[in-house]
């Protein structure tokens, strides 16, 4: 494979730095902790790591509110630590992707501190400011994802500023060319330090509608899905004007032009729009835009074979030129073992989910702890850290349950994560799933994860082949991965009951072995799959 396209079919391991490993004793993970665990990550067989924000920040949104794009927050270490991290990762043949949060900053960023002072200063037009209506109300009806209105009054300027997220996260004005230039310079700062790419947070939120038109109301029947509960008023609108504007395409082309000056550097855009699949296709079209698109379409609670098939097929039909990236868990959603499917047999389900995710066409993002089969942690209200969960408790408990620290050792204090008090509690059931314990069990979720990723590297069809689904009934998902004259049939049982399904195939199947998963069998045109079972075979004509 061309080294510049290393990201095609790669498995990227997402690190939430607060929760991987603490070396300072303050209960918060840090960059030296990541360095310490890079050997473990390399042993998993992943190709790259994506590190969530570690930049200087007041931590109102745990690093997604940046006050200095070029400084590392002392909680996590310093630039020297980051340089050591890059060096060790590259020595282990691991690429390093870092988050870039471009659409907004912290309200403690120097740009905003200056911009808020007056309507005439040098940074006056660097953020989205608007006058009040005649009656003092905000300029339009836009809403914040975290609840309530998206406009905050600033008495110094006697204007409102836009915040699509927390009111401490003011939105930058990308209609201003100076903002675009400064943003690109910040990106290049990290390219010069050796990063291999970026995960671009909320990349479709960079531009807003210049006319500040109201968003139209959304019918009650359409307020489900896309990650927003119906009790969040954000779900009440079609978000046509506060994000995903036409001007954004030209800006992402500017990002791509910059990255093309650094061979091998790749951009992965996080996209959440009214039609995320269509936006993913648009933003990855041709060779001048993002390398990959990433959405929340498989981060929902729908675990049906029909939904997965429809989602992937829709993207395949739209994305005729670009390259997808798939994830079934991250730091913003309930862990997949708890979110998808029936309860029970979670270890086998976790193994199957890894195989399913890594068999889709695209690049794969696996969130830390998925290799252990961790379930969503139950966090008491008084232990919550996430402002999103605090606002919407108890109907929505926030994102803390998927952000608890990694359990490294079942017999050590705080599961070996920290010598201090962890920033979030570590559930007892997570300690029983610790790395040290699973390493000793050849049949563990962890060893299955390692084995499958190693096995997958031997099958180019699973890495870069085309995908075509085969008609099946619930709860079975079957598809064909094709590369040149090779065809790989892949099947999954999404239930905890044995399933049988008829397959109308032209040719014979030669089953692959050695993938280390609970495997099905094919005979007389019928595929039999055990609970949460998998099937891999070569289709011979």
Quote the pLDDT of residue 221.
87
Gap between the Cα atoms of 477 and 497, Å rounded? 14
Quote the pLDDT of residue 233.
92
The residues annotated with a catalytic role in the active site are 201, 270
Mean pLDDT (whole number) for 373-384: 94
Indicate whether 226 pLDDT > 60. Answer: no
Gap between the Cα atoms of 143 and 223, Å rounded? 14
Gap between the Cα atoms of 283 and 280, Å rounded? 5
Indicate whether 228 pLDDT > 70. Answer: no
Q: Render pLDDT for 413-440 as a digit per residue (tens, 0 to 9).
A: 999 999 999 999 999 999 999 999 999 9
Quote the pLDDT of residue 227.
54
Quote the pLDDT of residue 496.
93
Gap between the Cα atoms of 20 and 9, Å rounded? 25
Indicate whether 514 pLDDT > 90. Answer: no
Rounded to whole angstroms, what are the CA distances from 538 to 9, 238, 521, 522?
Answer: 19, 45, 13, 12
Of 202-206, 250-254, 389-393, 443-447, minimum mean pLDDT range: 389-393
Indicate whether 446 pLDDT > 80. Answer: yes
Percent of the chain with pLDDT over 70: 98
Q: Render pLDDT for 380-402 as a digit per residue (tens, 0 to 9).
A: 999 999 988 888 898 888 899 99
Gap between the Cα atoms of 62 and 50, Å rounded? 16
Gap between the Cα atoms of 323 and 315, Å rounded? 10
In which band, very low, low, confident or very high, does the pLDDT at 225 lie, cut at 50, 70 and 90?
A: low
Gap between the Cα atoms of 481 and 85, Å rounded? 36
Structure tokens at 108: 């403690």
In which band, very low, low, confident or very high, does the pLDDT at 2 lie, cut at 50, 70 and 90?
A: low
Indicate whether 1 pLDDT > 50. Answer: no
Please, are residues 114 and 121 in contact by the beta-carbon 8 Å criterion? Answer: yes
Give the list of residues 6+ apart from residue 498 with CB closer than 8 angstroms, or none: 528, 529, 530, 531, 533
Indicate whether 344 pLDDT > 60. Answer: yes
Sheet with 129-130, strands from edge to edge, namely 129-130, 159-162, 151-154
Q: Render pLDDT for 463-506 as a digit per residue (tens, 0 to 9).
A: 999 999 999 999 999 999 999 999 999 999 999 999 999 998 98
Q: Which residues pair with 522 in a beta bridge?
A: 527
Pick 359 or 395 by higher pLDDT.
359
Indicate whether 323 pLDDT > 90. Answer: yes
Structure tokens at 139: 């300029």
Q: Render pLDDT for 84-98 as a digit per residue (tens, 0 to 9).
A: 999 999 999 999 999
| Topology (CATH level 3) of domain 467-540 | Immunoglobulin-like (2.60.40)
Task: Compute the mean pLDDT over every residue in the chain, rounded to the nearest whole number.
Answer: 95
pTM for this entry: 0.96
The ranges assigned to domains in the chain are 467-540
Please, are residues 63 and 168 in contact by the beta-carbon 8 Å criterion? Answer: no
Quote the pLDDT of residue 83.
98
Q: Which residues pair with 129 in a beta bridge?
A: 161
Q: Render pLDDT for 265-274 as a digit per residue (tens, 0 to 9).
A: 999 999 999 9
Indicate whether 229 pLDDT > 80. Answer: no
Quote the pLDDT of residue 150.
98
Q: Render pLDDT for 49-90 as a digit per residue (tens, 0 to 9).
A: 999 999 999 999 999 999 999 999 999 999 999 999 999 999
Of 215-224, 243-252, 469-478, 480-489, minimum mean pLDDT range: 215-224
Report whether the peptide linkage leading into residue 90 is cis, meaning its omega lies within 30 degrees of zero.
no
Q: Which long-range contacts (CB under 8 A, 24 or more apart) does 251-255 make?
A: 251/174, 251/180, 251/206, 251/207, 252/203, 252/283, 252/289, 252/290, 253/288, 253/289, 254/180, 254/184, 255/184, 255/187, 255/200, 255/290
């Amino acid at each position: 494979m061309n080294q510049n396209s290393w990201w095609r079919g790669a498995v990227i391991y997402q690190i939430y730095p607060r929760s991987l490993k603490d070396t300072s004793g303050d209960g918060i993970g840090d960059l030296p902790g990541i360095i310490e665990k890079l050997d473990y990550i390399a042993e998993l067989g992943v190709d790259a790591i994506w590190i969530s924000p570690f930049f200087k920040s007041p931590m109102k949104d745990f690093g997604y509110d940046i006050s200095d794009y070029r400084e590392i927050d002392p909680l996590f270490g310093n630039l020297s630590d980051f340089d050591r991290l890059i060096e060790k990762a590259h020595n282990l043949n691991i690429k390093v992707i870092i988050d870039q949060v471009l659409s907004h900053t912290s309200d403690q960023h120097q740009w905003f501190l200056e911009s808020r002072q007056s309507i005439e200063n040098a940074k006056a037009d660097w953020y989205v400011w608007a006058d009040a209506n005649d009656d003092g109300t905000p300029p339009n009806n836009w809403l914040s994802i975290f609840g309530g209105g998206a406009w905050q009054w600033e008495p110094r300027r006697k204007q409102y500023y836009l915040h699509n997220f927390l009111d401490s996260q003011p939105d930058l004005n990308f209609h201003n060319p100076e903002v675009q230039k400064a943003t690109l310079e910040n990106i290049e700062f990290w390219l010069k330090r050796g990063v291999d790419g970026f995960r671009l947070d909320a990349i479709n939120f960079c531009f807003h509608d210049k006319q500040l038109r109201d968003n139209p109301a959304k019918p009650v029947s359409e307020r489900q899905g896309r990650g927003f509960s119906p009790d969040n008023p954000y779900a009440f609108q079609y978000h046509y004007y506060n994000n995903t504007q036409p001007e954004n395409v030209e800006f992402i082309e500017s990002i791509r032009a910059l990255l093309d000056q650094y061979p091998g550097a790749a951009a992965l855009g996080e996209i959440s729009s009214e039609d995320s699949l269509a936006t993913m296709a648009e933003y990855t079209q041709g060779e001048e835009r993002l390398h990959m698109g990433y959405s929340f379409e498989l981060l929902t609670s729908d675990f049906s074979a029909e939904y997965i098939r429809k989602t992937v097929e829709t993207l395949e039909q739209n994305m005729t030129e670009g390259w997808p990236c798939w994830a079934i868990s991250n730091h913003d959603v309930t862990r997949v073992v708890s979110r998808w499917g029936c309860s029970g047999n979670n270890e086998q389900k976790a193994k199957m989910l890894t195989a399913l995710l890594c068999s889709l066409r695209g690049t794969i993002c696996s969130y830390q702890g998925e290799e252990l089969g961790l379930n969503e942690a139950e966090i008491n209200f008084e232990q919550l850290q996430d402002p999103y969960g605090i606002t919407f408790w108890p109907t929505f408990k926030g994102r803390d349950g998927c952000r608890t620290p990694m359990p490294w050792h079942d017999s050590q204090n705080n599961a070996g994560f920290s010598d201090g008090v962890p920033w979030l509690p570590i559930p007892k059931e997570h300690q029983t799933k610790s790395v040290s314990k699973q390493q000793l069990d050849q049949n563990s979720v962890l060893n299955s994860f390692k084995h499958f990723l190693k096995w997958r590297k031997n099958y180019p069809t699973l890495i870069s082949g085309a995908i075509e689904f085969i008609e099946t009934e619930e709860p079975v998902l079957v598809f064909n991965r094709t590369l040149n004259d090779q065809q790989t049939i892949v099947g999954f049982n999404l239930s905890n009951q044995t399933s049988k399904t008829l397959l109308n195939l032209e040719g014979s199947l030669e089953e692959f072995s050695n993938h280390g998963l609970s495997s099905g069998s094919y005979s007389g045109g019928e595929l039999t799959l055990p609970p949460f079972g998998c099937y891999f075979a070569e289709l011979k004509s």
